[in-house]
Chains A and B, each alone.
Chain A
Amino acid sequence: MKQKKILKKLSQLEIGQSAIIDSFTDKEMSLKLLEMGCTPGEIVTLDRIAPMGDPIAINISGYLLSLRKEEASTVMVSLINKN
């Protein structure tokens, strides 16, 4: 049975929350993110948020990547259901 995906912006994740990258809303930004390994299907986990609320740091394919919220808001992710 196929579950309905609930899409969220990467910038809206909570610390410790994991999600799967679904798609990008900004063409130029997506290219930069792709080369850094943020490909559709990869699992991302929000590692931490900078003290002033921006930028954020995510765990992706085994390393830590930091990006601004504005940049993260161009990445659509689907939450991983906790069972």
Chain B
Amino acid sequence: MESNQSFVNFSEHSSLKIALVGNPNSGKSTLFNALTGLHQKTGNFPGVTVDKKSGIVKLSPTVTGEFVDLPGTYSLYPKSLDESVTFEVLCNPNNEDHPDITVIVADASNLKRNLFLVSQILDLKIPVIFALNMIDLVEKEGDVIDCVRLSERLGVKVIAVSARRKEGIEEIKEALLQPLPVPQYEFIDLRKIAGDVIDKIRSMIHLNSDFAAFQSISNVQEIHYFDNKPEKKAKFEAIIKSSKLDINKLQTHESVERYKVINRIAEECVTHKTAIKTESFTHKLDGLLTHRIYGYAIFLVILFFIFQTIFFLAKFPMEWIESLFVFVSQWTTSILPAGEVTNLVVNGILAGLSGVVVFIPQIALLFAFIAILEDTGYMARVSFIMDKMMRRFGLNGRSVIPLVSGVACAVPAIMSTRTISSWKERIITIMVTPLMSCSARLPVYTLLISLVVPPSKTEGFFNYQGLILMGLYLIGFIAAITAAFVFKIILKAKEKSYFIMELPVYRSPQWRTVGRVMFEKVKVFLFDAGKIIVAISIILWFLSSHAPGDRMKQIENKYTSTELTSTYSPAELNVKLSAEKLESSYAGMLGKALEPAIAPLGFDWKIGIALVTSFAAREVFVGTMATIYSADSKDNSRTVRDKMMTELNSQTNLPTFSFAVSFSLLIFYAFAMQCMSTLAVVYRETKSWKWPLIQFLFMGTLAYVSAFVVFHILK
């Protein structure tokens, strides 16, 4: 150990910034949860779509620690968005999240590879604590890691931890308040690799370490030291240009040198059990789960299970939520004076909230499954067995779960694409998932199919209605993978896509983690996407209940006249009133204005109104049809169907919902992006209005063209 060891002491500070860094699968998040308990919040790193988890905890009566969980990375060479965040926070002292102390989390059962990142961080010469996690796994294997020796060798505090068993957590918290040695040990001599450029850079900008200077050579784009001084930046770039360094070669050289040192350290500090290792549990289980028959069969069963749960099981709590909101709406109407404000609260705000809250069961259930699949290590195997098939369409092995979940609902499905690490593959999955026929399309399909074929019509074993329904699901799937293929060709990837990925050992899921993931996802949806959904639903409410001038008043007056009240029963009158109100509303005007545009598809203005209102959610189509055709909403859809069947086109005197029109409308609903909640979630997941807009346009165009073709073929 070096004698001129310097220490930093933060125990006098009233608050400490602490960052957690480590490899993916090193148990970093588990440790973060163990350290922060329930005092967590999820936000975003400024300017990027990377989730930031932070938590504030009292370390002593006078010191609070603010922990930030940095995205997992294998090295400090930023290759993905996630990795750039970690790089930027650690290497830029001016970053708002730059920590006072960095806790490096390493998987002890995989020490050598984890030491690579450790060595890079130590070379930054920032105060660190080294948490050697999963020490229980190492002990189970019969191996021994000499932590004292490791600590001496690296010149930092090493703490053996088992985050899952909550062992070593208090030791970390205590160590944060003790004087910490500043790392002195230079893993490798960077001057030998890069030459005098390092000194030139260090004389120009104030940097803590040679490695920070070395990193600034290869990451000029990422470095923000020059924010206010462009002339300095120019000088800096000139130095690098004149040195004529091959960055790739430098980093390769650096990596090889690092591993040489790491191998020596590992040899000194780890004692392996010499006995021949029996075939591991993971190896055996992989034999089954990646088997060419059983592997796919098991995956299929799991998919079926997930699908059943979010499609059928979620229905019950969703119905409870809906009845709760109906109850609250009725109650609100009864206590508030009738009028504009009550109308806004009940039909605008409460309806919007109901439309948000109703998604909770599906989101929670889907993420329970995903958390279990990720936590056990199975998700990596899904990628492994599905990669070849999905790659052809520009998708990832992990796209399968979002796509299948999309058959229940695109909202949770799109949220679940976070597990796809490649930006391009993730965007493609997000873009095509809403083409899968979701459960909200089902009421629309059922109504329209019943117009096309009578339910009794069967041909031997086949029921025509069932066949058409199946066909629609199939068309949705084909459209999704075709669109994925097109996006694969069009989209330019910012980063090179690798498949190089760890297959972690299988472990039992931690229920605490599962619960936490469910809670977090629901929270994110409610607060981020929920705002947009409520806002749009208020706009839609306004459009369908208001009209220019005092037209609404005139209609109401008309329906209170004795002439009408004497001919119709109050119920009939009410139905007629709603129909006429909707027709004269802004939504009605919009529907009429849309008519020339949708006439080529065989749609009239009444369908136009339904297209506008069902933007809230596809199933609203049925309700709107009921209102427009003055069907009594208390009856089932049967009456809507009968009304629609007998409806005649005012110009041609032929049935409005002819075979051709109904089919055209079916196809339109199969493809069109008629769902504000999905758009809100796509915005939340991509952090830009660009992607929801592209999605809206491409799906709209696809729907329009397909409906046009179908209508003209069948006409």
Contacts and interface: CB of A to CB of B under 8 A. Distances in A.
Do A and B form a real pair? yes
B17 interface: no
Given A31-B252, A39-B256, A54-B388, A63 B502 contact: yes
Given A28-B496, A35-B116, A35-B255, A67 B501 contact: yes
A28 B110 CA distance: 24
B255 A66 contact: no
B387 A51 contact: no
A62 to B, nearest CB: 6
A50 B256 CA distance: 30
A69 B191 CA distance: 36
Contacts of B291: 51
Interface string A19-51: 000000001111111111101100000011011
A51 B255 contact: no
B252 A51 contact: no
A36 B505 CA distance: 16
Contacts of A67: 498-501
Interface in B478-507: 496, 498-505
A65 B501 contact: yes
Interface string B605-618: 00000000000000
Given A50-B290, A61-B112, A64-B505, 8 more contacts: A35-B74, A36-B74, A36-B113, A36-B500, A63-B113, A66-B380, A66-B500, A66-B503
B266 to A, nearest CB: 9
B698 interface: no
Contacts of B74: 35-36
Contacts of A53: 388
B259 A37 contact: yes
A28 to B, nearest CB: 7
B292 A51 contact: yes
A68 to B, nearest CB: 4
A32 B502 contact: no
Nearest to A27: B248
B496 A65 contact: no
Given A61-B112, A63-B502, A39 B388 contact: no
Given A32-B79, A65-B503, A52 B384 contact: no
B256 A32 contact: no
Q: Which of A52, A54, A64 has the most CB of B within 10 A?
A: A64
A47 B291 CA distance: 13
A55 B498 CA distance: 11
Contact of B296 (A28, A40, A51, A62): A51
B256 A57 contact: no
A39 B113 contact: no
Contact of A66 (B248, B249, B259, B384): B384
A42 B383 CA distance: 26
B222 interface: no
Contact of A31 (B77, B387, B501): B77
A34 B255 contact: yes
A63 B110 contact: yes
A27 B249 CA distance: 8
Contact of B502 (A51, A52, A64, A71): A64
Given A28-B496, A48-B286, A52-B389, A37 B113 contact: yes
Given A50-B387, A51-B295, A31 B503 contact: no
B496 A71 contact: no
20 contacts: A27-B248, A28-B496, A31-B252, A33-B500, A35-B255, A36-B74, A37-B113, A47-B286, A50-B387, A51-B292, A55-B499, A57-B286, A61-B113, A63-B503, A66-B384, A66-B502, A67-B498, A67-B499, A71-B498, A71-B500
A71 B295 contact: no
Contacts, number: 103
Q: Which of A34, A35, A37, A64 has the most CB of B within 10 A?
A: A35
B215 to A, nearest CB: 14
Contacts of A51: 290-292, 295-296, 385
B282 interface: yes
A21 to B, nearest CB: 11
B251 interface: yes
Interface in B69-106: 74-75, 77, 79
B80 to A, nearest CB: 11
A66 B501 contact: yes
A75 to B, nearest CB: 11
Interface string B352-376: 0000000000000000000000000
Contacts of B387: 50, 54-55, 68
B384 A55 contact: yes
A65 B286 CA distance: 13
Given A66-B501, A66-B503, A67-B500, A34 B252 contact: yes
Contacts of B638: none
A48 B282 CA distance: 12
A55 B290 CA distance: 11
Contacts of A48: 286-287, 290
B109 interface: yes
A66 B287 CA distance: 15
A37 B116 contact: yes
B255 A31 contact: yes
B153 interface: no
B283 interface: yes
A32 to B, nearest CB: 6
Contacts of A64: 282, 286, 502-505
B500 A27 contact: no
Contacts of A47: 283, 286
Nearest to A51: B292
A27 B251 CA distance: 10
Nearest to B498: A32
Nearest to B282: A64
B67 to A, nearest CB: 26
Nearest to B291: A51
A1 B380 CA distance: 44
A60 B498 CA distance: 18
Contacts of B79: 32
A35 B262 CA distance: 12
Q: Which of A40, A54, A61, A71 has the most CB of B within 10 A?
A: A61
Nearest to B107: A63
B255 A62 contact: no
A39 B296 contact: no
B589 to A, nearest CB: 55
B113 A27 contact: no
Contacts of B389: 52
A39 to B, nearest CB: 4
A63 B503 CA distance: 8
A34 B259 contact: yes
A51 B496 CA distance: 25
A28 B251 CA distance: 10
Nearest to A30: B252
Contacts of A31: 77, 248, 251-252, 255
A51 B389 CA distance: 11
A9 B349 CA distance: 63
Interface in B247-261: 248-249, 251-252, 255-256, 259
A57 B77 CA distance: 24
A28 B510 CA distance: 37
